[in-house]
Structure 1
Amino acid sequence: MLEPRRKTRTLSAELADTLGQRIRNQEYPPGTKLPKEMDIMEEFGVSRTVVREAISHLQAAGMAETRHGIGTFALLPEDNGFFRVHPDQISTLRDTIALLELRIGLETEAAALAATRRTDENLSKMQRALTAFKASIEAGENAVQADFQFHTEIALATQNNHFIQFMALLGERVIPRSRLNPNNDPSPARQAYLQRVHQEHESIFNAILNQDVDAARAASRTHLSNSRERLRMGEIKAK
């Protein structure tokens, strides 16, 4: 808990330092959602004002981004010198398919590396992401956050920061339906589509669990290639 008697400005700076360190240590992997304001207030014993000022510090440092109606997400600093894909570069169906082609090359190898390097903790987090994805389907939700989290956990399991940073630079917009059809849709067709995605995720997870490099590579390629074909066939429609 932070010392409550200190000035608000000092508390917010200390809180920003603590949260920033968690982002750098991958406790909050870049691209994932930060805890809710109330959760941070309870953990550190600070006011809502302190939390909001701390988040502002992180935003100014390029380590957080608030998306209205969704939440605040961890980011890498803008001046890191790494390749970036800006939102206006993936605003159309054609752009999204092009990005998937890039992902096929990179994430296929990430899955293969994860199969050789994953830890028990990595597996546990992947399983939690799968469970969250299934729960989202059952609730009639779009499962975008859980989907992105699963792919992020694979990147983390490579133990290679470049794969982690690649996913962080893209964020949840790497999931096509987060942009092309972002609304929740409980229709049978959407539910069936998400069930197929879930099964593909499970195939990747099982290959990584079994440390089967070839199977992990193949399952990841199949999943991302299927995503590309589903886009082309119009299962995810551009608005």
Structure 2
Amino acid sequence: MFVSNPSAQKAFSLTPVEIKSIPETLELLEFRMAAEGEAAAIAAYRRTAEQEAAIRAANRKMAQMIEDGAPTVEADYEFHMAIAAATNNRFYVDVLRHFGPRSIPRGQFPTLPEAHDRAYLDKVHAEHIEILEAIADQEPERARQAMRAHLLASQRRYRMLAEQQ
């Protein structure tokens, strides 16, 4: 759920542009689950030490942005791009680059409380840690499942949002 207090659900409203973008966001998340789940698995067995370090650096950057209360969309995107690069397959990088930071849904919904909510961002970061650890441990299936779970959680949140509109 986006907010823990049901009465707070009415405290925000999406702009017309945000409402129109929910279906596209759901489609993109569906696509990303397939593509990025596989990318995480491939990265788990192909990544170099330098690529693992880049994934870790992106993850640390996001943690610092959360700590500082700064916007996290770019750092989140960099984390996913570092994983794509660790596949050593340019098509994964090209696809993610095509979508750019807009592939991170909360960047498309700035009026949502969760876009800036510390608890929510900590949860996203914890999901990233699961993905990172699986890649670092060179466990492809675990990496695939961690990435899919991360994106599925996002997809569920936006489906609930669509149902509220």
Calculate the TM-score normalised by the size of structure 2: 0.82
Alignment-derived partner of residue 107 in structure 1: 36
| Displacement of 1:142 | 2.7
Among 118, 123, 130, the alignment partner of 1:203 is 130
Bigger radius of gyration among the two:
1
State whether residues 106 and 115 of structure 2, in contact with CA within 8 Å, keep that contact through their aligned partners in structure 1: no
Alignment partners' CA distance in 1, 2:101 and 2:110? 13
Alignment-derived partner of residue 119 in structure 2: 192
Alignment-derived partner of residue 71 in structure 1: none
- Which is helix-richer, 1 or 2? 2
Gaps in structure 2 of 5+ consecutive residues: 1-16
Among 125, 137, 150, the alignment partner of 2:79 is 150
Alignment-derived partner of residue 231 in structure 1: 158
| Displacement of 1:179 | 1.2
| Displacement of 1:184 | 9.2
Q: Report how many aligned residue pairs link the two structures.
A: 146
Alignment partners' CA distance in 1, 2:115 and 2:106? 14
Which amino acid is 2:44 matched to? A
Among 68, 81, 90, the alignment partner of 1:161 is 90
Does 1:221 find its partner at 2:148? yes
RMSD: 2.4
| Displacement of 1:182 | 6.9
Calculate the TM-score normalised by the size of structure 1: 0.57
Among 1, 4, 22, the alignment partner of 1:93 is 22
State whether residues 142 and 183 of structure 1, in contact with CA within 8 Å, keep that contact through their aligned partners in structure 2: no
Does 1:125 find its partner at 2:59? no
Alignment-derived partner of residue 12 in structure 1: none
State whether residues 107 and 115 of structure 2, in contact with CA within 8 Å, keep that contact through their aligned partners in structure 1: no
State whether residues 117 and 157 of structure 1, in contact with CA within 8 Å, keep that contact through their aligned partners in structure 2: yes
Alignment partners' CA distance in 2, 1:163 and 1:212? 19
State whether residues 129 and 150 of structure 1, in contact with CA within 8 Å, keep that contact through their aligned partners in structure 2: yes
Alignment partners' CA distance in 2, 1:96 and 1:106? 15
Gaps in structure 1 of 5+ consecutive residues: 1-87
- % identical equivalent positions: 39
Larger RCO, structure (CA 8 Å, separation 6 or more):
2
| Displacement of 1:178 | 1.1
